[in-house]
Amino acid sequence: MVADMKQRARRLSEPHVAPLEQWRETVASGRAMPHFDPFDGGACARLLILLETPRAMRGQRSSALRFVSRDNPSGTQRNLSRFLDEAGIARSHMLLWNCVPWVVHEPGAINRRLRRAEIAEGLDLLPGLLAILPRVQVVVLAGKVASEAGEVIAIQRPDVSILYMPHPSPANVCTSPRIGQSIRTVLSDAAARLE
């Protein structure tokens, strides 16, 4: 994983990622905000998947190098990666990001609920992100917090399809077989809209 992190860091200035990283630097305002994954489609992506917020990382400095990636060692990312593979969505076609893109949790703390002000601020940042993604055709909003972005996206980009799916966290997916099936259905629909 360390080698992958170093390789990702070296690729952050590549043309498909550089404009996103410049935007990220501007909006981070000194907060810990993971980088975009250069292994994904970057500014050329046709599918944007919005999750909630970066998870708390126990034992990791807030300044540690982090990426929003389907390869992250968490149950949510493992589930999402599996569902994306099942739907046949290529990495080069997608971009993964968070509705509230900075780390809200105190170092060493467990995940907590997002505050309304944090969600509102995250939603306010979305128009700037969408402006850097001219090829996006489909936006998938994963979970309750991300679903709040639907109206912002519809106003900013009426040309895109907006799909809603349950959050792929293990705690959510394990509650019912219907959750996993719903995620599969939405991602298959997203894949079909990219063809």
In tens, the pLDDT along 34-74 reads: 999 999 999 999 999 999 998 766 555 555 789 999 998 88
Q: Is the dihedral of CA 25, 45, 133, 119 positive or negative?
A: negative
pLDDT digits (tens, 9 = 90+) for 125-148: 999 999 999 999 999 999 999 999
The domains located in the chain, with CATH, are 2-194 (3.40.470.10)
140-195 pLDDT tens trace: 999 999 999 999 999 999 999 999 999 999 999 999 999 999 999 999 999 999 97
What's the whole-model pTM score?
Answer: 0.93
The string of pLDDT tens digits covering residues 74-131 is 889 999 999 999 999 999 999 999 999 998 877 666 677 899 999 999 999 999 999 9
pLDDT, mean over the chain: 92
List the beta strands (DSSP E) in 136-182.
Answer: 138-142, 161-165
pLDDT attached to residue 154: 98
Neighbour tally for 6: CB within 10 Å:
11
